[in-house]
Amino acid sequence: MLDEPRSDFSRLRERAGLSVEALAPLMGYSPATLYRWERGEAMPRQAALVVLEDLVNKRGATEPEKPAFRFIDLFAGIGGIRRGFEPLGGKCVFTSEWDRFAKTTYAANFPHDDHEISGDITKTEAKDIPEHDLLLAGFPCQPFSIAGVSKKNALGRAHGFADETQGTLFFDVARIISEHRPKAFLLENVKNLVNHDKGRTFEVIMRTLRDLGYHVPTPRVVNAKGYVPQHRERILIAGFREECDFSFDDLDVPSPLKGPKLGTILHPEDGTEKGPDKHYTDAKGRVSDKYTLTDHLWRYLQDYAAKHRAAGNGFGFGLVGRGDAARTLSARYYKDGSEILIDRGEGQNPRRLTPRECARLMGFDKPGESKFIIPVSDTQAYKQFGNSVAVPVIEAVARHMLPYIAAEAAQDQEHLQRRLPLVG
Ligand SMILES: C[S@@+](CC[C@H](N)C(=O)[O-])C[C@H]1O[C@@H](n2cnc3c(N)ncnc32)[C@H](O)[C@@H]1O
């Protein structure tokens, strides 16, 4: 039997290393449609070909032959922390995320992983997680219950990190570190982690990590505003298995006063941007009307702000233009968008950011770029970006940590080589 002639689409798909079934959800088409393109019975959509070419390029860019280090991505969301480390030659060997919409976005943007996304981390045995050099986690923070601790102590149960942190998601981070003893870890959280539960949460976290035998330099709060036009302060906690002179003090963070402005990430709407981008912009690159606030919502937000101003509290909505920076994008942006409203000029209702603008505001796409795949609804996209990290901050931290991870990896190699003749 003769082989069926293959279409350009089919060849490109094979270069992307994806089956029709795996590719279909990433492109938003049914497998049946893709099979028609495969057989050359119908012409593939131009937008679909752009996505496919991007996947082929990404495959080339993200598959280092021999990874410099192996890492795991916990509470992975849409993989913002991963994006800082992977380009440095890291290979992600395990991902945990339980939200199905976040998983969809993650899978669309990291389609070549050789592992499935694992679900609830509290149900995952540490021994089932592969060995790794680096653990990454932007874990949700919860208070630690003192009552639970004293009861356990009274019963004479084992001491250690489990006592104080059991029942929290940080406990799961600690037990995985304890089991695998990676060379390093990076934990990320909101700035307010330090004050959470009157400082107790932070104290327990630091003590637990140090009790696990890790060198944990003073954490640092970094404002992303030097990198992206958004005030976003997050705390970063790094730890190293071996004593080392890593310090966050010499991490060079650009001044928030000199950061880029919103004009760099907004759709230009002057015809210079190629459109349409999903339902965000039209063929001429103009932002869809659906992002403009209704008269009713705009009136409500103004009245609400006036009421609070009169009472002397809160600062209501955040109206900004191309020359400004935005407030922190939060996971609740989908509700009314009030924290970042784009001014559309006198007499016009403001609009929300489009999800593409959020991708740029968080550094997932560079200014003017539209590469990040957003396969979910606007509501889910806003939640995902609001929960995530400013990628350029993590990129800077990753570069700062790399020599220490690499130095340790080299030490391990030396140990291995010294042991080899004995083994042989
Ligand atoms: C603050 S977000 C982290 C976002 C991530 N750093 C990023 O770049 O997108 C926390 C994530 O943890 C996930 N999560 C919470 N509890 C979880 C659990 N028990 N198992 C797995 N994932 C969980 C949430 O769905 C959420 O996506």
String of DSSP letters for 120-167: -GGGS-GGGSPP-SEEEE-PPP-PPPHHHHHHHHHTT---SHHHHHTT
How many other β-carbons are positioned within 10 Å of the β-carbon of residue 165?
Answer: 25
Query: Which ligand 1 atom lies nearest to the CA of residue 188?
Result: 6
Best of 72, 387, 391, 397 to mutate for ligand 1, by most ligand atoms within 8 A of CB?
387
Q: What pLDDT, on the 0 to 100 scale, is given for residue 411? A: 60
Contact 62, 112 (CB under 8 A): yes
Quote the radius of gyration of the chain (alpha carbons, Å). 24
Contact 20, 38 (CB under 8 A): yes
Residue extent(s) of CATH 3.40.50.150 domains in the chain: 69-255
Indicate if ligand 1 lies below 6 Å from the C-beta of 118: no
Q: Give the angle subtended at the CA of 204 by the CAs of 401 and 69, to the nearest 5°.
A: 25
Ligand 1 centroid from CA 218, angstroms: 24
Question: Quick one: tokens of 394?
Answer: 């993590």
| 232 Cβ contact list (under 8 Å, min separation 6) | 223, 224, 225, 328, 329, 390
Whole-prediction pTM value? 0.82
| 183 Cβ contact list (under 8 Å, min separation 6) | 69, 133, 134, 240, 241, 242, 405, 408, 409, 412
Kindly report the CATH class assigned to 262-386: alpha beta
Ligand 1 centroid from CA 135, angstroms: 14
Best of 98, 118, 196, 372 to mutate for ligand 1, by most ligand atoms within 8 A of CB?
98
Q: Catalytic site residue 141?
A: yes
Ligand 1 centroid from CA 159, angstroms: 28
Burial 91-116, CB ≥16 within 10 A → b, else e? bbbbbbbebebbbbbbbbbbbebeee
Indicate if ligand 1 lies below 6 Å from the C-beta of 208: no
At the topology level, CATH places domain 3-63 in 434 Repressor (Amino-terminal Domain) (1.10.260)
Query: Which ligand 1 atom lies nearest to the CA of residue 120?
Result: 20
Residue extent(s) of CATH 3.90.120.30 domains in the chain: 262-386
Indicate if ligand 1 lies below 6 Å from the C-beta of 97: yes
Low-confidence stretches of the chain (pLDDT beneath 70) = 1-5, 59-65, 144-160, 314-315, 407-424
Indicate if ligand 1 lies below 6 Å from the C-beta of 90: no
Query: Which ligand 1 atom lies nearest to the CA of residue 81?
Result: 8
Q: 138: closest CA among 65, 82, 181?
A: 82
Query: Which ligand 1 atom lies nearest to the CA of residue 389?
Result: 8
Q: How far apart are CA 190 and CA 140, in angstroms?
A: 9
Cis peptide preceding 276, ω within 30 of 0 = yes
Q: 77: closest CA among 139, 124, 169?
A: 139
Contact 179, 126 (CB under 8 A): yes
Write the Ramachandran bin of 158: left for phi over 0, alpha for psi from -120 to 50, otherwise beta. beta
CA 379 to chain centre: 17
Ligand 1 centroid from CA 370, angstroms: 24
Dihedrals phi, psi of 375, to nearest 5 degrees: -95, 10
Q: Hey, CA dihedral for 313, 314, 319, 323, is it positive or negative?
A: positive
Superfamily of domain 69-255 in the CATH hierarchy: Vaccinia Virus protein VP39 (3.40.50.150)
Query: Which ligand 1 atom lies nearest to the CA of residue 384?
Result: 9
CA 278 → CA 143, 282, 416, distances in Å?
41, 8, 51
Residue extent(s) of CATH 1.10.260.40 domains in the chain: 3-63
Q: Hey, CA dihedral for 244, 227, 75, 112, is it positive or negative?
A: negative
Ligand 1 centroid from CA 165, angstroms: 18
Chain position carrying tokens 């997680």: 129
Question: Quick one: tokens of 299?
Answer: 């009136």
Q: 68: closest CA among 93, 89, 94?
A: 89
Ligand 1 centroid from CA 77, angstroms: 5
Q: How far apart are CA 381 and CA 155, in angstroms?
A: 47
